């Protein structure tokens, strides 16, 4: 039992809709509070800090549409509060001024703490390198206005002031920040250009993954085919919305998953769908990448303070450069750098 004055409850209520219907309570909570480990989440449910329809339920309770999930955030914040340990990671700074900084995020680095991991994230490195970062809406995510997946490389913006943090948030919401990705995909040949307009949500049988769902949220991705050879395509992509795993899910759904994106079907099994004589090239490309071949190449927007047009590009990592060389005359690094 804690000593001292008991804090007033700070209840936050979630109304379950179609996208969360059928989720287990503990999984739903972790989706909304990623800093809570599985053990901690279950402990809070058992203690009654998390209720469903004002009643204490088991962690495995399945949520139904219309259910009200109440979370006592005062207790959870009090029990999980902790500082951020600085991490001396060598960061490649692509742009910096007094308002924000742009980093070329390396593969394998998680953007912010969560799911019981509080060290070794990009945020820990930012705390080490920069004296001033925006507070944002979460004490464990200073400066973070958008995210990249753990194994996705490329440009990520980091706010230094709260005013610019809010401005970036509004600009992302209004789709005023244009993002360009480059992906190397495997499978069927895409059209020369196209728009993938398929709603998305979490997979009910695997909430770590996302999928196309009729009851999901709007998700739109535009793409252009840069090159294609032996079942391998190089795509330039412009996500118009910012759903979790959006590009990865959309490419997989259309039959050309990102190479080495194993959760979404971009592994060696996909190579078996390619003509036998073309498979050696596909296998050669797959070997270039330890993880999904997705790079956040460029970002463009109007500076929220100076009102100047800003374009920031991230150089391709070594695995991309190696794969491009294998294309020979069909694709050059000069062509890729022009994207």
Catalytic residue selected from 26, 72, 149, 261: 149
Calpha distance 185→285 (Å, rounded): 10
CB 248 within 8 A of CB 282: no
Nearest to 118 by CA among 88, 139, 140: 140
196: tokens are 């993938």
The residues pairing with 196 across neighbouring beta strands, listed in sequence order, are 221
Q: Where are the alpha helices (DSSP H) in the chain?
A: 25-32, 38-47, 73-80, 122-129, 162-173, 246-253, 268-271, 279-288, 318-326, 333-337
Residues with Cβ within 8 Å of 280's Cβ and at least 6 positions away in sequence, in order, are: 230
CB 182 within 8 A of CB 314: no
The CA–CA distances, whole Å, from 217 to 34, 72, 129, 241 equal 20, 27, 37, 10
145: tokens are 């206005």
Calpha distance 310→300 (Å, rounded): 6
CB 113 within 8 A of CB 142: no
The CA–CA distances, whole Å, from 249 to 152, 199, 202, 230 equal 14, 10, 11, 22
CB 41 within 8 A of CB 33: yes
Is 97 one of the annotated active-site residues of the chain?
A: no
The CA–CA distances, whole Å, from 180 to 97, 144, 237, 284, 312 equal 22, 19, 6, 26, 10
Nearest to 183 by CA among 210, 154, 203: 154
* Catalytically active residues, by annotation: 149
């Amino acid at each position: 039992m804690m000593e001292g004055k008991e804090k007033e409850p700070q209840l936050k209520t979630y109304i379950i809709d179609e996208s969360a219907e059928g989720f287990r309570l503990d999984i739903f909570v972790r989706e909304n509070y990623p800093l809570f480990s599985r053990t901690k989440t279950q402990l809070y449910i058992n203690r009654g800090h998390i209720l469903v329809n004002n009643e204490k339920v088991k962690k495995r309770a399945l949520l139904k549409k219309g259910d009200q999930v109440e979370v006592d955030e005062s207790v959870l914040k009090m029990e999980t509060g902790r500082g951020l340990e600085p991490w001396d990671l060598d960061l490649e700074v692509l742009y910096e001024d007094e308002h924000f900084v742009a980093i070329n995020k390396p593969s394998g680095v998680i953007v912010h703490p969560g799911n019981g991991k509080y060290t070794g994230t990009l945020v820990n490195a930012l705390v080490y390198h920069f004296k001033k970062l925006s507070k944002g809406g979460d004490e464990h995510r200073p400066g973070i206005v958008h995210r990249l997946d753990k194994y996705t490389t490329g440009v990520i913006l980091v706010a230094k002031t709260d005013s610019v943090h809010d401005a970036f948030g509004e600009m992302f919401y209004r789709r005023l920040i244009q993002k360009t990705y480059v992906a190397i995909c495997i499978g069927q040949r895409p059209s020369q250009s196209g728009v993938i307009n398929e709603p998305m949500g979490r997979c009910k049988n695997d909430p770590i993954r996302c999928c196309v769902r009729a009851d999901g949220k709007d998700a739109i991705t535009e793409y252009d085919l840069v090159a294609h050879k032996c079942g391998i395509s190089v795509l330039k992509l412009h996500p118009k919305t910012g759903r979790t795993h959006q590009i990865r899910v959309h490419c997989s759904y259309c039959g050309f998953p990102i190479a080495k994106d194993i959760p979404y079907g971009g592994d060696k099994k996909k190579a078996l769908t390619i003509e036998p004589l073309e498979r050696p090239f596909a296998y050669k490309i797959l070997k270039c990448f330890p993880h999904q071949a997705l790079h956040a190449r460029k970002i463009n927007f109007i500076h929220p303070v100076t009102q100047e047009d800003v374009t920031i590009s991230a150089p391709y990592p070594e695995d991309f450069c190696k794969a491009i060389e294998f294309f020979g005359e069909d694709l050059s690094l000069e062509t890729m750098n022009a994207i």
